[in-house]
Amino acid sequence: MKRILVLHGPNLNLLGEREPDVYGTLSLSQLNRVVSEHGKSLKIVIMTAQSNSEGELIDILHRVRKKVDAVVFNPGAYTHYSYALRDAVSAIQIPVVEVHLSDIKKREPFRRISVIAPVCLAQISGYGALSYVKAIDKLSRLSAPSKGSKRGRK
């Protein structure tokens, strides 16, 4: 059975409270239920984690690299400047899809650039909770990696 980690970055613990006009009204626990139920419908085990700390996000990625088949990652504001997270995503050599609830291409200029997306399989943004569902769907269609491959990464 496939295993996917859904990893939430900084301030996502405040979903439902923080700028609901931008990020929606679902709480983090409600979003985690949505993705877990969707995974279950696809016979995929969904694990979830959240941290406001860049170092902890890196540690989580390192820890799960041999325990999951893929990662859905919302790096939050780290998207735009964290080369450390970019390097961690590249280093773990499993497919990662970067997601965002809002459409970062239509936001403030500093939010339009992702330093992490180039090392990800894809970036999906602007669909609210559906961004996560679309990412899980994309990852569910990947075939099993061959030994020595980058596990589905482009």
The answer as to whether 76 is a domain residue is yes
Domain of residue 32: give its range: 2-140
Per residue in 101-115, pLDDT (tens digit) is: 989 888 777 778 899
The answer as to whether 150 is a domain residue is no
The answer as to whether 146 is a domain residue is no
CATH number of the domain where residue 119 is located? 3.40.50.9100
CA separation for the pair 56, 59 (Å, rounded): 5
Catalytic residue numbers?
23, 100
Task: Tell me how crowded residue 112 is: count the other CB atoms within 10 A of its CB.
Answer: 12
Distances (CA, A) of 126 to 39, 44, 82, 105, 107: 20, 24, 21, 9, 10
Per residue in 75-102, pLDDT (tens digit) is: 999 999 999 999 999 999 999 999 999 8
Contact (Cβ atoms closer than 8 angstroms) between residue 139 and residue 39: no
How many CA atoms lie within 13 Å of 133's alpha carbon, on the beta-carbon side? 12
The answer as to whether 30 is a domain residue is yes
The answer as to whether 66 is a domain residue is yes
The answer as to whether 119 is a domain residue is yes
The answer as to whether 6 is a domain residue is yes
